[in-house]
Structure 1
Amino acid sequence: MNLSKSILLFFLATPVLAQENSQEFQYRVEMSGTVSSGTYAPLWLTANRFGMESEKPNSGYLRAGLEWHKPLRKGWRIDAGLDLAGGVKQTSDFWIQQAYADFSWKMLTLSVGSKERMGFPLEKNSELTSGWMAEGPNMRPIPQIRGEIKDYLSIPGTRQWLAFKGHLAYGIFTDGHWQENFCGVNQKYAKKVMYHSKSLMFRLGNKEKLPVEFEFGLFMATQFSGDQYQKLADGSSKRITDMPDGLKSYWHAFFPTAGGSDTPEGEQVNVEGNMLGSWNFGLNFYAGDWKIRATLDHYFEDHSQMFWEYGRWKDGQLGIEVYLPKNKWVSAVLWEGISTKDASGPILYDGFWGSFSDLQMSGGDDYYNHYIYQAWQHYGQGIGNPLLAGPVYNQDGSICFKSNRMKAQHVGISGNPSEEWKWRLIASYARHWGRYSSPLDKVRKQFNSMAEVTYLPQWAKGWSVSAALGIDRGNYLGNSTGGMITLRKTGGLGK
């Protein structure tokens, strides 16, 4: 009751504060409903929406948020936001989608809290892409403390030919209770798991003098600390693994090293925690009003994939984006080819120690899965590319990716016929092989598509409505046809 009163008081007081202090507030109220056939809603009605949409065939939500932006003197700035949501057939009945404060000085930002961040190291067309391999907008935000340079900053003395950007973050996964409720009998789950990520990207080139730019860099993330449990038949749970949570664990997450004697044997042989990441490359070409961009997002989960130790850079995402001169119908076209099928090859071995202790063996990487933290996920949705369906799709209550060996083709096209209208069309075709340790009975095939139109009427300032149609066909997630309507109102308060 006290929380409800506080939230209500916040919304009632906001217009008064805005008027008295002449500070800029932005608000958003949004409601969305999805109706579809099949076991699950069409994938692209659910994916890459920061966990706001449900995989269930019929669902809906209502969200309301406020943002405050305050420029200060000498390059300082404060931005803060609160975004609350509730829904039906969602992973939660009520949740805080965003609650953050950003403190910025020129191009440097310290961000604290839960926020829908689009500042992924490798920029892609967020409306058309299938997603990012290591971390993208497919899951509910992870609360964190994050220092970052969001946009490229030119290095002094290079005459704007060399620039960099990057971030460093520590946070905590908040889905422990969801995992416990979702988990099936004899299945495992984790609580109080910590999050770490970092990135560093460079850009070489000056498009004002040469119409070509090259981008390259690294993104790394880690799940660490926390406790692992097993669900028992009577509904209770027993703790089976207690990972260390001291300062040394934060260092091991920042600089991946083997765990100590207080970690399981697997962590002592490899690195402490679930470490993963991606190498990111981008090549931009400018020709008048045209822009062509090629990207490579190479995913890895061990040193052999990270450092090309065995020459196996077969997995990742290759993309081409074309941005056309301003016209009435088509503004951008995208193609992506994705593969996670190789996973360092099918080499498997029994146990961590074996009889050849001096021989390093790599292979059979179990992408997005982990024997302690179960999966690279948050509230059941995969943190990486959504074409690899997350644990929320598992009807047996297992928190893992049932198929992490996949090959897919993805296309997208969008347009802005006028200031009032915009549209996009995306489609994907994927083949799934399951996991090396538990392959599917046969190669499964899945087609996913979505067409969406958004209307922003000039006569109704701040209002917009989006209508989307999704069609899925295949024998992996199954057949489904559905529609989604989203109504949104945005505006400002204060000066």
Structure 2
Amino acid sequence: MKIYFLLILMAVAVSECFGSTPAALRGLRLEASVEATAGSGEFAPLYMASNRRGTLSSADNVVLSAGAVRPMECDRRLSYGYGVELWGGYSSAVGYGRYDVSTESWGMNRRRPPALWLQQLYGEVKWRSLTASAGMKHEGSPIVDDRLSGGDMIRSANARPIPGVRAGFAGFQPVPLTSGWLEISGELEYGRFADDGWWRDHSALYNGHVAQGEWMVYRRMHLRTDPGRPLTVTLGVQCASQIGGTTTYYRDGEIAKVEHRGHKVADFIKILAPVEKGAEDYVLGNTLGTWDLKATAVVRGGWSLSGYFQWIWEDGSG
């Protein structure tokens, strides 16, 4: 990935020298930042770690981020984009208690973020009102502003992006036969959690369980009234499900049970509405969701005021 990033920088430099830019690099943005933090505890304070996509967790950090992003061109019928983002540097270690079954004693397991990690790597394409993408990409909340709120309850800005594939509408699109007063937005994503190593390294391995190799299915749909009017209302639903994987259960430091939850191709379709005949709740995987409501009023001077509410539910309560 470092080689790929350097090739991009070289291509931009060459294009500037010769006065022409290849089509694949038009609109390319290069971004870099360096950050240093210090704290008195082991973890970064809540207000510093929140809504940071999982990039800042330890108290003391000196980290560098660098990336390249080519956004899609929304005014074109067919467009594509891509992005890559790397983080690296020094972060202080955090101690996690861990039980050693061989000595029947507890010890301190100190862990720190890696010296270098890939935060984003994705490609995307747009055709008319539809989009598709693959890879790890920061996806913002469809209902709240991550910079001006506590964050979305389902699509959290506290987590690193999950590798996967996704498809949906390019923003909000007019609903036919409504004369523009109603718009729709929707998305479907299949991904695989990439935190197996983190759970293995940070768990106490005493009581409780560790889940690994799980898949995620995310889907949403939102309806919005005409945004050109003084009052706009958005109403919709989000669902995120976990399926498959292996769960290891621990009791007093010993492995009590290992549950292998295999998955078939049909499960990825079945999980979209995971209610089995005769069951009172969802029996395939675990599903978390919200009903979303947002209202935006435009006031004098071009300012706007928004308020939102999310009703969270899990499994059959939805």
Q: TM-score range by the shorter chain?
A: 0.7 to 0.9
The verdict on how the C-alpha distance between 1:96 and 1:248 changes in structure 2, with shifts beyond 3 A counting, is same
Q: CA deviation at 1:230?
A: 4.4
1:275 aligns with 2:294: no
- Quote the Cα distance in structure 1 between the aligned partners of 2:209 and 2:194: 17
User: What does the per-residue CA deviation read over 1:253-289, in whole Å, with 9 as the maximum and x for residues that have no partner?
Assistant: 2121349xxxxxxx99642111010000012222333
- Quote the Cα distance in structure 2 between the aligned partners of 1:180 and 1:152: 40
For the residue of structure 2 that corresponds to 1:177, the secondary structure is: helix
The verdict on how the C-alpha distance between 1:165 and 1:85 changes in structure 2, with shifts beyond 3 A counting, is same
For the residue of structure 2 that corresponds to 1:254, the secondary structure is: coil
Q: CA deviation at 1:84?
A: 1.2
For the residue of structure 1 that corresponds to 2:188, the secondary structure is: strand
Structure 2 segments unaligned to the other structure (5+ residues)? 92-111
Following TM superposition, where does structure 1 have runs of at least 4 consecutive aligned residues deviating by more than 6 angstroms? 231-234, 236-239
User: What does the per-residue CA deviation read over 1:158-183, in whole Å, with 9 as the maximum and x for residues that have no partner?
Assistant: 12111110100000100101111111
For the residue of structure 1 that corresponds to 2:269, the secondary structure is: helix
- Quote the Cα distance in structure 1 between the aligned partners of 2:8 and 2:250: 40
- Quote the Cα distance in structure 2 between the aligned partners of 1:245 and 1:239: 19
- Quote the Cα distance in structure 1 between the aligned partners of 2:281 and 2:221: 27
For residue 101 of structure 2, what is the aligned residue in structure 1?
Answer: none
The verdict on how the C-alpha distance between 1:274 and 1:8 changes in structure 2, with shifts beyond 3 A counting, is same
1:298 aligns with 2:311: yes
User: What does the per-residue CA deviation read over 1:222-274, in whole Å, with 9 as the maximum and x for residues that have no partner?
Assistant: 0111111246999x979701112211221232121349xxxxxxx99642111
Q: In the alignment, residue 204 of structure 1 is paired with which amino acid? A: T
Count of matched residue pairs: 291
The verdict on how the C-alpha distance between 1:168 and 1:237 changes in structure 2, with shifts beyond 3 A counting, is same
Note if contact 1:114-1:142 (Cα within 8 Å) is conserved in structure 2: yes
Q: In the alignment, residue 293 of structure 1 is paired with which amino acid? A: S
Note if contact 1:218-1:280 (Cα within 8 Å) is conserved in structure 2: yes
Matches within 5 A, 1:104-123: 104-118=126-140, 120-122=141-143
Structure 1 segments unaligned to the other structure (5+ residues)? 260-266, 307-495
Note if contact 2:250-2:257 (Cα within 8 Å) is conserved in structure 1: no
Question: In structure 2, which of residues 194, 200, 207 is the aligned counterpart of residue 174 of structure 1?
Answer: 194
Question: In structure 2, which of residues 220, 236, 240 is the aligned counterpart of residue 221 of structure 1?
Answer: 240
Note if contact 1:226-1:243 (Cα within 8 Å) is conserved in structure 2: yes
Matches within 5 A, 1:386-405: none
- Quote the Cα distance in structure 2 between the aligned partners of 1:131 and 1:81: 23
For the residue of structure 1 that corresponds to 2:151, the secondary structure is: coil
Note if contact 2:281-2:316 (Cα within 8 Å) is conserved in structure 1: no
The TM-score, its normalising length taken from structure 2, stands at 0.81
Deviates further, 271-280 or 152-161: 152-161
The verdict on how the C-alpha distance between 1:232 and 1:16 changes in structure 2, with shifts beyond 3 A counting, is farther
- Quote the Cα distance in structure 2 between the aligned partners of 1:67 and 1:283: 31
The verdict on how the C-alpha distance between 1:181 and 1:239 changes in structure 2, with shifts beyond 3 A counting, is farther
RMSD: 2.9
For residue 48 of structure 1, what is the aligned residue in structure 2?
Answer: 51
Q: In the alignment, residue 302 of structure 1 is paired with which amino acid? A: D
For residue 141 of structure 1, what is the aligned residue in structure 2?
Answer: 161
For residue 450 of structure 1, what is the aligned residue in structure 2?
Answer: none
Q: In the alignment, residue 212 of structure 2 is paired with which amino acid? A: K
